[in-house]
Amino acid sequence: MTEPTSDLLRFATVGSVDDGKSTLIGRLLVDTRQLFDDQLEAVATASAKRGVGDLDLSFVTDGLRAERDQGITIDVAYRYAATPTRKFVIADCPGHVQYTRNMATGASTADVALVVLDATKGLKEQTRRHLCIAALLGVRNVIVAANKMDVAKWDEAVYFAVVDQVNEVSARLGFTSSVVIPVSALAGDNVVDPGFMANWYQGPTVLQALEAAPAGSWASSSSGARLPIQWVLRQHGGGRTYAGMVNGGEFTVGQEVTLMPQGVKTVLKAINGPRGGLEVALPGLSVDFDLTDETDAGRSDMLATAPLPTSTNEFEATICWFSDKPLTDGARLRLKHTTRSTPVRVTGIAGTLDVGTLEVGPASEIALNDIGLVHLATAEPIVVDNYRDNRVTGSFILIDEVTNATVAAGMIGHANFL
Amino acid sequence: MSTSTHPQIDHLDLLESHAIFIIREVVAECERPVLLFSGGKDSAVLLHLAVKAFAPQKLPFPVMHVDTGHNFPEVLAYRDERVATLGLRLEVASVQEAIDQGRVPDPGPLGMRNQLQTRALLDGIEKHKFDAAFGGARRDEDKARAKERVLSFRGAFGGWDPKSQRPELWQLYQGKVNSGENLRAFPLSDWTELDVWNYIRRENVPLPSIYFAHERPVLKRDNMWLAVGEFIHPQHGEVVERHLVRFRTVGDASCTGAVRSGADTLDAIIAEISVTNVSERGATRADDRFSETAMEDRKREGYF
Ligand SMILES: Nc1nc2c(ncn2[C@@H]2O[C@H](COP(=O)(O)OP(=O)(O)O)[C@@H](O)[C@H]2O)c(=O)[nH]1
Ligand SMILES: [Mg+2]
């Protein structure tokens, strides 16, 4: 396991529309004084203009004209915050079913999911869908804000009903931690400042939970080290080095590495990092490698250490489908995996996930926003790890060959709960 | 090359490596990329990263300056010095030329030209058949930018459609476009203003002198300090004063404001920015003050 950095936490908001995700992020940013005076003033002006009170906190992230006019989040907003102990990259995601692809975009790079739900309404189907997607994407830690506790009159029973529901799904989806916090995003209780309305609650505020959550888990991996080659650099004097970004584990000068899919073994002669030569290349670093032997390595190939990835043309995968046109057996698309693009064909649809029951049932096609299990065959071999072991070499996207639109997020293998 | 014995990497290292990764992906996937180089600090950092991404090879694509014709002389000198030192190929997309050829209406010699940049940019992209343009935009600059993908797909008219952005998952950047369409690539998306300054200090990235405190004649207009010079003259009752100022962003000289500051070193600038109460664009861009969604509207029309 490699933990590249612990001072930066990436998290995404998750949950159904109108449960208060954007308001909570607005509250978090305002109460930790992340907003500049002019930005705060602009939010106040925009609120007054639309008659939605003195300060509509959702306008902090809902920055598009249509979002403010309609009072909804359409696409992910990224915000950056820093407290004395930690830096945050925040992805405030939309809740609507039709924007699931945008939610997946925001959650695909998150270490932690901040689940927001309306405590008076409980865990809705859309919240379960988001939780499934977050779990599929490999999120292991969730922080749950049981929001609108002001509406619930801070009733303890309402909170504990949410806790029970969350614990049940959490166990099924395999989250390793799921703290549930009673919150009023609107009033600010238990977001940054503790809530005095709930003397029965002794746990952390949302900010405390975020500051305590394990960072860097996105890049954690149980595979060997991997370098998908992006580019071959010609060195002065005729040599070549192989450039890319390290993932999965670390490379060390002098180490034996395998060029995949060729299966050729060689030795790592030197590592150049952005700031000069290195003995060790850690995950997340863009480097170029000098190898001891002459090889025919190029873009799309991969350098790897044991345990080695698999080179394959046929594999099972879990996908999240984003196109209006359902995916059917036999469909032809393009696949991008690490730095390789290759034609791909669907050779079988094993089923789709019912997010209500969390059971996989038989299906003949995969519809918009469905999660499905498929068998794929690629024209060129791809060099993969199971997504559970490595998020970089285990993930791919599917692309429509005519429009070039990205139509699916794919993960090699399937999650434990499927 | 020196070898580090401390393989620890920090936040700036990760931002740097991620940006280099994005630059290499776009160059590998696109036919004719270009880097938009304004001479401002963000494009200076972007250029620095692009050079690193392909060293020791030369930059495998040109840079383009979208020139409003209202330049700070210090910035033009800086641009030309960078181009000469790094051996770059420079294209200039000129707003003045667009005005002269009647492609855009003439706002008058002193009129604001930031809006007209879009036409010059799109014409430049079309003329050279660029299919990808790197820009130094950051998501912390503006609420519309906060919504934009790292690779921002633009249709045949160059416009941004925020309601139908391509999904962008993990670090799988997908840069394929059909002919006539193009892509804007923002490798600094996740950088904050402070990250940029810290990186400039760490890497000694050269900058135009106007980023550092200096004395110059300025006048106050719309609550902003504008540099008196070729493009800004005092009008009815405006008083010219001499002040110690610096620029926090660099744009069209007729609408980029200066801030009163004595910060004449990178350390002093970083100290100043760390405690400021005003955003970068709020402090310095007259063009963004007129409407709530100024940036979104310009992007929809094809702006950076
Ligand atoms: N009473 C109450 N209303 C809230 C609370 N949080 C959010 N809201 C309201 O719920 C609505 C939806 O909020 P928003 O943040 O846009 O939800 P999102 O769709 O999840 O981002 C808005 O009208 C908010 O003012 C809360 O804690 N209490
Ligand atoms: Mg929202």
> Given CA atoms A45, A47, A53, A59 in this order, what sign does their dihedral have?
negative
The CA A195 to ligand 1 mean position distance, Å, reads 17
**Domain count across chain A:** 3
Q: Are strands A240-245 and A286-291 parallel, antiparallel or unpaired?
A: antiparallel
Q: Are strands A8-14 and A112-118 parallel, antiparallel or unpaired?
A: parallel
Q: Residue B303: how many CA atoms within 13 Å on its side-chain side? A: 17
Give the separation between CA A6 and CA B171, rounded to whole angstroms: 20
| Per-residue pLDDT tens over the stretch A127-180 | 999 999 999 999 999 999 999 999 999 999 999 999 999 999 999 999 988 899
Residue of B48, B154, B170 to mutate when probing chain A, most A C-beta within 10 A: B170
B247, B211 in Cβ contact below 8 A?
Answer: yes
Backbone angles phi, psi at A56, to 5 degrees: -85, 105
Contact indicator for A246, A281 with CB cutoff of 8 Å: yes
Residue A300: DSSP 8-state: T
Same domain as B97, residue B22? yes
Per-residue burial over A149-176, b = 16 or more CB atoms within 10 Å of its CB, e = otherwise: bbebebbeebbebbbebbeebbebbebe
Q: Please check whether residue B134 lies inside any domain of the structure.
A: yes
**Closest CB from B7, B166, B171 relative to A278:** B7
Rounded mean pLDDT for each run of 10 residues along chain B, 304 residues in total: 54 95 96 94 96 95 90 91 95 83 72 74 89 94 90 84 90 88 93 95 95 87 80 82 86 79 91 83 62 78 77
Cβ within 8 Å, pair A74-B162: yes
Interchain CB distance below 8 Å, B143 and A63: yes
Contacts of A44 (CB under 8 A, 6+ apart): A54, A55
Contacts of A378 (CB under 8 A, 6+ apart): A313, A314, A335, A342, A343, A344, A345
Helix/strand/coil for B291: coil
Which of A218, A251, A274 is where one domain is finished?
Answer: A218
CATH number of the domain residue B96 falls in: 3.40.50.620
pLDDT confidence of residue B285: 62
CATH of the domain at A314: 2.40.30.10
Instruction: Indicate yes or no: CB of A5 within 8 angstroms of CB of B10.
Output: yes
How far, in Å, from the CA of B153 to the mean position of ligand 2?
23
A260 and A281 assigned to the same domain = yes
Yes or no, beta carbons of A108 and B1 under 8 Å apart: no
Answer whether B284's CB lies under 8 Å from B276's CB: no
Residues B128 and B253 occupy one common structural domain: no
Q: Is A365 in the pocket of ligand 1 (CB under 6 A)?
A: no
The low-confidence residues of chain A, meaning pLDDT below 50, are 1-5
- Say whether both B129 and B274 belong to one domain: no
- Residue-number span of the structural domain to which A258 is assigned: 226-304
Cα distance between residue A396 and residue A384, in whole Å:
10
CB A395 to CB B172 under 8 A?
Answer: yes
Instruction: Provide the pLDDT for residue B114.
Output: 66
Same domain as A402, residue A353: yes
* Torsion, CA B64, CA B69, CA B71, CA B74, rounded to 10: 70
3-state helix, strand, coil in chain B (%, to 5): 35, 15, 50
How many domains does chain B fold into? 2
Question: Which residue has its alpha carbon closest to ligand 1 atom 6?
Answer: A20
Q: Residues B192, B214: one domain?
A: no
Question: Degrees (nearest 5) of the Cα angle A344, A349, A353?
Answer: 120
Contact A131, A169 (CB under 8 A): yes
Question: Do both A10 and A157 map to the same domain?
Answer: yes
Per-residue pLDDT, B107 = 72
| Measured CA angle at A243 (ends B190, A236), to 5 deg | 125
Q: Which of A390, A374, A386, A392 shows the shortest CA–CA distance to A412?
A: A386
Q: Tell whether B2 is covered by a domain.
A: no
Structure tokens of B59?
């930059």
**Partner-chain residue, chosen from A65, A234, A395, that has the shortest CB–CB distance to B293:** A65
Strands A310-321 and A406-412: antiparallel
Question: Mean pLDDT over all residues of chain A?
Answer: 92
Regarding the beta carbon of A94 and ligand 1, being less than 6 Å apart is answered: no
Same domain for A201 and A100, yes or no, is yes
Instruction: Answer yes or no: do A90 and A74 share one domain.
Output: yes
Q: Judge if A154 and A74 occupy the same domain.
A: yes
CB atoms within 10 A of CB A380: 14
Please check whether residue B189 lies inside any domain of the structure: yes
Closest CA relative to residue A98, chosen from A341, A406, A367: A367
ipTM above 0.90, yes or no: yes
Q: For ligand 1, what atom is nearest to the CA of residue A19?
A: 20
Atom of ligand 1 nearest to the CA of A183: 27
Atom of ligand 1 nearest to the CA of A187: 27
Task: Clarify whether residues B138 and B56 are in a common domain.
Answer: yes
Q: A52: Cβ below 6 Å to ligand 1?
A: no
Cα B179 off chain centre by: 26
Measured between beta carbons, the chain A residues lying within 8 angstroms of B176 are 399, 404
Torsion sign, CA atoms B270, B276, B281, B283? negative
Which ligand has the minimum distance to the alpha carbon of residue A26? 1
CB contact under 8 A, B174 and A38: no
Does A182 sit in the ligand 1 pocket, CB within 6 Å?
Answer: no
- Residues of A in Cβ contact (< 8 Å) with B178: 403-404
pLDDT at B5: 40
CB atoms within 10 A of CB A97: 15
Q: Does some domain include residue B34?
A: yes
Query: For residues B86 and B76, what is the distance between their CA atoms, to the nearest angstrom?
Result: 15
Q: For residue B69, which amino acid is it?
A: G
* Contact yes or no for B209/B230 (Cβ under 8 A): no
Say which CATH number the domain at A43 has. 3.40.50.300
pLDDT value for B287: 56
What's the gap in Å between the CA of A290 and the closest CA on chain B? Answer: 13
A305 lines ligand 1 (CB under 6 A): no
* Angstrom distances, CA of residue A402 to CA of A160, A406, B7, B178, B184: 51, 11, 44, 9, 20
Minimal-distance CA residue of chain B relative to A338 = B172
Mutate to test the interface with A, among B143, B178, B186, B298 (most CBs of A within 10 A): B143
Q: Which of A18, A153, A192, A197 to mutate to test the pocket of ligand 1 (most atoms within 8 A of CB)?
A: A18
Count Cβ atoms below 10 Å from residue A120 Cβ, excluding itself.
Answer: 18
Q: Select from A43, A230, A390 the residue whose CB has the most chain B CBs within 10 Å, as the one to mutate to test that interface.
A: A230
**Could you tell me if residue A418 is inside a domain?**
no
Query: Within this chain, do residues A72 and A170 fall inside the same structural domain, yes or no?
Result: yes
Residues A17 and A140 in one domain: yes
Domain containing B109 equals 11-196+293-300
At B119 the pLDDT is 83
Note the helical H segments in chain B.
11-29, 41-54, 73-86, 95-100, 117-128, 193-203, 266-274, 280-284, 294-300
* Cβ pair B293:A250 closer than 8 A: no
Task: Verify whether ligand 1 is closer than 6 Å to residue A58 (CB atom).
Answer: yes
Of A265, A280, A304, the one marking the end of a domain is: A304
Regarding whether A189 and A271 lie in a shared domain, the answer is: no
Q: Where are the beta strands (DSSP E) in B148-288?
A: 151-154, 182-185, 214-221, 224-227, 241-247, 258-260
Q: Output the pLDDT for position A37.
A: 83
